[in-house]
Structure 1
Amino acid sequence: MNASRTRALRLPLAALVCSVVLLSGCSDSGSAGSGSAGRKEASTTQAAQAVAPAADGDLQSDYQKVIKDVLPSVVQIEAGGDLGSGVVYDDKGHIVTNAHVVGDEKTLKVTTANSQSPLTATLVYSYPQQDLAVIKLDRVPDGLRAATLGDSSKVQVGQIVLAMGSPLGLSSSVTQGIVSATGRTVSEGGGDGEAGATIANMVQTSAAINPGNSGGALVNLDSQVIGIPTLAAIDPNLGNSAAPGIGFAIPASMVKTIADQIIKNGKVTDSGRAALGITGRTVVDDSFQPAGVAVVDVKSGGAADKGGIEAGDVITQLGDTSITTITSLSEALAADKPGQRTSVTFTRDGSAKTVDVTLGEQ
């Protein structure tokens, strides 16, 4: 599935905070009259109407508590004139966000919940392959509150979630929805027609994810960050505009794995992402339909090199998965692990060949 990055747009829109309202049913009292059955129905209806406001109030209180707990840990990030969001990771001033929010910037401006003016921050490391980055405040303000990351394995479809960030530059905005699916593999749209990152195990949500939400927080009702909102789906039938109610977040487990390595080592040392060790491009057939990935360059000592794959070969299958584009190859690799043994089918000089390779690490 292709998705667009949620970059900031400068539009003068009003901020909205969404909430769920539980509606009680209505009954027709015209024929109930004065009979005992009518009195019982009326009594039941009155009881339901009495309970409904309390239920509404409970859910509203839950929302307000979560917002009070987590929103102070969500910051606004300005990078080269673009706005995005971030989540305070620890009390030392580390903030996790998306790599595409940071871009090529090394110095950024951060507005925290309790700062009167933007603070400066420095990039620690950006890891575009997973679209994650860590920045660090040059000065840690008093009262900086780190968010609590949840257990991604416990995220369930149907779970109520809130998305917090700075959509369209509107800081401290909150939207609500549910977890629509888990385990999605999604490919970002790259700039200038290039393929972006392919990310596995994404959390799909119906909570509104708009430009500027990137790097913010997807939060459960236990006030735990379960994901970092990153992408909004696009609909090719609507001119590649955003498809409402389909957004994606990087799961908290991956965020923690990558952020901990960056903070400890200054870089990612164990990505957990499989690699074939090639540079490739999509090729088309005589009908101008995508027909495989042409190998442009082979990394010396990589999986493809050890398997005998050469520049000019056209990869058409990885394991049991047909490969037609560079994106489909990236998505197939995202489902595998480094060290895994798999087969690669390719054509060379018009003949098909299949070799076994041991996947490397990206």
Structure 2
Amino acid sequence: MAALVLAGCSSGSSSTSNTSSPGASSSGSASAAAGGHQLQSDYERVIGDVLPSVVQITTANGLGSGIVYDDKGNIVTNAHVVGTATAMTVTLANSTKTLDATLVASYPDSDLAVIKLSSPPGGLRPAVFADSKTVELGQITLAMGSPLGLAGSVTDGIVSATGRTVSEPGTDGSAGATIGNMVQTSAAINPGNSGGALVNLDSKVIGINTLAATEPEGTGGVAPGIGFAIPSSTITSIADQLIKNGKVTNSGRAALGITARTFFDADFKPAGAVIVSVVAGGPAASAGLQVGDVITKLGDTDITTLNSLTTALASLTPDTKVTVTYVRDGQSKTADVTLGTLPTS
């Protein structure tokens, strides 16, 4: 989960005189009440439309959520929900009966996986996925899933931000996947929500609920109202490839075409990412970067560790031209690199 430092703020309020006539005040109250009833009706409609498409997934190591992807029994979820399991059970939203499912394929680099029901029942309700480009700041969102095992739960909020790059925690304490272009939402996301649907008021899935931010080191608690979802366009691109090919052939993620590690300076402080190997004919090689070069900046972003380089790349797309600042033989140099695509194997 992303570790965030939150600063509190407060705002004062002042009273003002109300010169509206009683009639105008009554009319305003009636209008507000009508608007509230309409919003409630919208919520009820969306829940009725989408909740039947959200399932609970149970593996030997825990549970999470998933979204019915098609009427053939394919279900998309987070890779970390599946973990190493190749078999699991699924409970549909409108049933208490568990159904057997098996893993189709998983792509941990984007934290996405597809599983398939062994015997898909009739009447499956595939979800409808939105175009991520239509997601805007302030849109109302509903998060659906099985938080803490409470199947069919719904929370609400708004789109708080788009284009976030977030690094997930690894299972062994190391860094997990770094995912770019995530949707930030204020809808509550709790353990068990992972793999569930983040939905707009058009009854379309705009993302998969993936993780919530945590408080700074020392507290470890979940930061309320800060959750992240993988955007719908990434979901459909990766899921389609997993279903068709059993693997991802085009990650859609930017790469320099190198392997690297964190570089430490004479004071043993992280000071960049040193290139360990360069892919022949790749983006870095074509720009003249060499083994031993220490990358200190990618575009305008300072690079102090391998993780910071990975995070910076996750926010970019293949074919983007970016200036790489690096140190070679004690001298700072720059190179313009056209980014490639992250290999999938």
Normalised TM-score (structure 1): 0.83
Letter in structure 2 aligned against 1:3? A
2:38 is aligned, of 42, 58, 64, to 58
Structure 1 residues 116 and 351: alpha-carbon distance in aligned structure 2, compared to 1, 3 A threshold = same
User: SS of the counterpart of 1:192?
Assistant: coil
Unaligned runs of 5+ in 2: 4-14
Query: Could you give the per-residue CA deviations for residues 108-162 of structure 1, whole angstroms, max 9, x where no partner exists?
Result: 2111123432211111111111111111111101221101111211111111110
Alpha carbons 1:315, 1:347 under 8 Å: kept? yes
Whether the aligned pair in 2 keeps the contact of 1:115 and 1:141 (CA below 8 Å) is no
Asked if 1:316 is matched to 2:296, the reply is yes
**Residue type at the aligned position of 1:236:** P
Larger Rg: 1
Displacement of 1:206: 0.5
C-alpha contact (below 8 Å) 1:290/1:324 kept by paired residues: yes
1:189 Cα deviation (Å)? Answer: 2.2
1:80 corresponds to which residue? Answer: 60
Cα deviation for residue 280 of structure 1 reads 2.8
Could you tell me how far apart the structure 1 residues matched to 2:239 and 2:114 are? 7
Alignment of 1:333-344 (within 5 A): 333-344=313-324
1:201 equivalent to 2:181? Answer yes
Judge conservation of contact 2:275–2:290 (CA < 8 Å) in 1.
yes
In the alignment, is the contact (CA less than 8 A) between 1:27 and 1:45 conserved in 2?
A: no
Residue 321 of structure 1: how far off its partner (Å):
2.7
CA distance in 1, matches of 2:335, 2:244: 38
Q: 2:81 aligns with which of 101, 114, 122?
A: 101
Superposition map of 1:254-293 within 5 A: 254-293=234-273
> Which of the residues 83, 90, 100 maps onto 1:120?
100
Query: Mean Cα displacement is larger for which, 261-270 or 96-105?
Result: 261-270
Q: Is 2:141 aligned against 1:158?
A: no
Ranges in structure 1 where 5+ consecutive residues have no aligned partner: 5-25, 30-36
Deviation string, structure 1 residues 278-323 (Cα, Å, up to 9, x no partner) = 3333234355543112334444554345555455443212234321
Does the alignment pair 1:177 with 2:177?
A: no
Task: Identify the residue that residue 187 of structure 1 maps to in structure 2.
Answer: 167
Residue 48 of structure 1 deviates from its aligned partner by 3.3
The DSSP-based 3-state class of the residue aligned with 1:230 is strand
Distance 1:105 1:242, change over 3 A: same
| Alpha-carbon distance, 1:348 to partner | 4.2
Whichever residue aligns with residue 97 of structure 2, its letter is S
Aligned to 2:123: 143
Which residue number in structure 1 is paired with residue 12 of structure 2?
A: none
Once residues 144 and 59 of structure 1 are traced to their aligned partners in structure 2, the CA distance between those partners, rounded to angstroms, is: 28
Q: 1:65 to 1:306 in 2, by over 3 A?
A: same
Q: Which residue is 1:3 aligned to?
A: 2
1:23 aligned residue: none
Q: 2:309: which partner in 1?
A: 329
How many residue pairs get matched? 331
Partner-residue secondary structure (3-state), 2:172: helix
SS at match of 1:141: coil
Distance 1:45 1:284, change over 3 A: same
Q: Helix, strand or coil for the counterpart of 2:2?
A: strand
Identity %: 63
Q: CA deviation at 1:233?
A: 1.5
Q: What residue is the counterpart of 1:361 in the other structure? A: 341
1:44-82 Cα offsets, whole Å, 9 max, x none, are 333334444333222111111111110010001112321
Q: Residues 201 and 299 of structure 1: is their aligned pair in 2 closer, same or farther, counting only changes over 3 Å?
A: same
Give per-residue Cα distances to partners, 1:153-177, cap 9 Å, x unaligned.
1111111110000111111110000
Question: Quick one: which amino acid aligns to residue 101 of structure 1?
Answer: V
Query: What is the CA RMSD across the aligned residues, in angstroms?
Result: 2.6
